[in-house]
Structure 1
Amino acid sequence: MTDALPTYALWLIAAMAFLGYVLGSVPFGLLLTNLAGAGDLRKIGSGNIGATNVLRTGRKDLAAATLALDAAKGMLAVVTAWIMTPPDFSDYTSTVAAIAAVIGHCYPIFLGFRGGKGVATGLGVMLALSPLTGLAGCAVWLGVARLTRISSAGALSAFIAMPVVILALYGFSFQTSPKPLATVLISLLVLARHHENIGRILSGTEPRVGEKKR
């Protein structure tokens, strides 16, 4: 990889960032619940558009579909960027698309920039960027969530673990690959979006899976 990217590479990076953001902005949870007649997701539970809040509608099928589609849109953003750009800078376009997709989910243009917390989309982009890291994140998320029955605890644990895993894989120099830096940035965003959950976990008031939000 040369020190200076050619002009067309910068345009491709910008285009993939735009594509990632638009894909990330698609609110599958809201669309599915509206189509299924389950009500306006923004007026249910936490008002979040993610799978955990969809589960509060009582529709496990819709929650599972939301989880899968939110992860898939993140994976699609990364894979599309990887395919559409030359190998010498595809790592850069794919990581930019990954970050943009998570930002899009958290701050979707279609919903006045009020979106979800980025967990499923974040796991989706990580599965595409670094499959081992993504699988480790999924394992930690499922394990902690099952042990504690607190979905947010699983998510927080996963996004704390993934930067550690990818740094172990790629080393501590961000010059080797942009993927570790992207993982850290995505994880920080997801953790920041969970600041209220962190407060409730510490106070012991965070609802468990199957309970209504207090």
Structure 2
Amino acid sequence: MIIALLLIAYFLGSLAWSVWIGRWMFGIDLREHGSGNAGATNAFRVLGKQAGTLVLVLDVLKGFAAVKLIHLLPADQQSVIAMLGLGFLAVFGHLFPIYVGFRGGKGIATLLGVVIALHSGAALLAMGVFVAFLLATRIVSVSSMAAALSLPLWLIYRFKEPSEVLIIFSFAIALLVLITHRKNIVRLLRGEENKVKLKRKRAED
């Protein structure tokens, strides 16, 4: 049963909403535009706010739903390790989606859904870090990395999380986010990373 659920989690994670919405609504492959990334950030950039918001919500939901598959197991088989396995397969599916040639995104939104399902309190605080850094820098990649790096700190120092497995997983998340953002780090060092527009400029009279 757990093997079947792990496979389902992977197929959930592989749901390539950004690619499909780009094709269905705009007739384009999102991966051929903007940053070339099949994720919510590039969807906002290329497809606009409405489509980007839809992609973001759907990507978060698939990570959340994958972890919640744990409730299909008997109570004595439900464990943190099993939940982490389901979450990992969902993120892996987003990174390497079987439906669209294994070319996915960076998995940040899906990872957020996983973390919300695992520990909503730490997820909320990490989201706060994301928003704070986004307002300060207007750079999504910096905000994502800061949020990911803050997650183990929230678990350890704010919530005194007793599960060592969950804490180790949070450090793995931080490392994974850094790895998937290595090109962004290079652009940051070169001063070439894109910034988002948080406010519309007032129209000229």
| Alignment equivalent of 1:107, drawn from 88, 92, 96 | 96
- 1:3-62: CA deviations, max 9, x gaps? xxxxxxxx51x2332121111111111111111125210111111111111122252100
Q: 2:167, 2:101 → 1: CA distance?
A: 30
Say whether 1:75 aligns with 2:61: no
| Residues 186/109 of structure 1: CA separation in 2 closer, same or farther (3 Å cut) | farther
Aligned twin of 1:84? 72
Q: CA RMSD in A?
A: 1.9
Aligned twin of 2:203? none
| Residues 43/95 of structure 1: CA separation in 2 closer, same or farther (3 Å cut) | same
Q: 2:133, 2:62 → 1: CA distance?
A: 24
Higher mean alpha-carbon deviation, 154-163 vs 202-211, is at 202-211
DSSP 3-state at the match of 2:37: coil
Aligned pairs for 1:110-125 within 5 A: 110-125=99-114
Residues 17 and 96 in structure 1, CA contact (< 8 A), matched pair in contact too: yes
Q: 1:190, 1:16 → 2: CA distance?
A: 25
Aligned twin of 1:166? 155
| Structure 1 residue runs of 4 or more that deviate by more than 4 Å after TM superposition | none
Higher mean alpha-carbon deviation, 177-186 vs 53-62, is at 177-186
- Compute the displacement of 1:178 (Å): 2.7
- Compute the displacement of 1:185 (Å): 2.1
| Alignment equivalent of 1:33, drawn from 2, 16, 22 | 22
Q: 1:20, 1:132 → 2: CA distance?
A: 23
Q: 2:127, 2:118 → 1: CA distance?
A: 14
Question: TM-score if structure 1 supplies the norm length?
Answer: 0.84
Aligned pairs for 1:133-152 within 5 A: 133-152=122-141
DSSP 3-state at the match of 2:186: helix
Say whether 1:18 aligns with 2:7: yes
Question: TM-score if structure 2 supplies the norm length?
Answer: 0.88
- 1:62-91: CA deviations, max 9, x gaps? 00111111000000001122x112334422
| Alignment equivalent of 1:178, drawn from 165, 169, 179 | 165
Unaligned runs of 5+ in 1: 1-10
- Compute the displacement of 1:186 (Å): 2.6
Q: Which amino acid aligns with 1:41?
A: L
Identity %: 35
Residues 106 and 116 in structure 1, CA contact (< 8 A), matched pair in contact too: yes
Unaligned runs of 5+ in 2: 199-205
Higher mean alpha-carbon deviation, 196-205 vs 63-72, is at 196-205
Aligned twin of 2:202? none
Residues 22 and 47 in structure 2, CA contact (< 8 A), matched pair in contact too: no
Q: Aligned residues, how many?
A: 196
Aligned twin of 1:204? 191
Q: 2:99, 2:27 → 1: CA distance?
A: 20
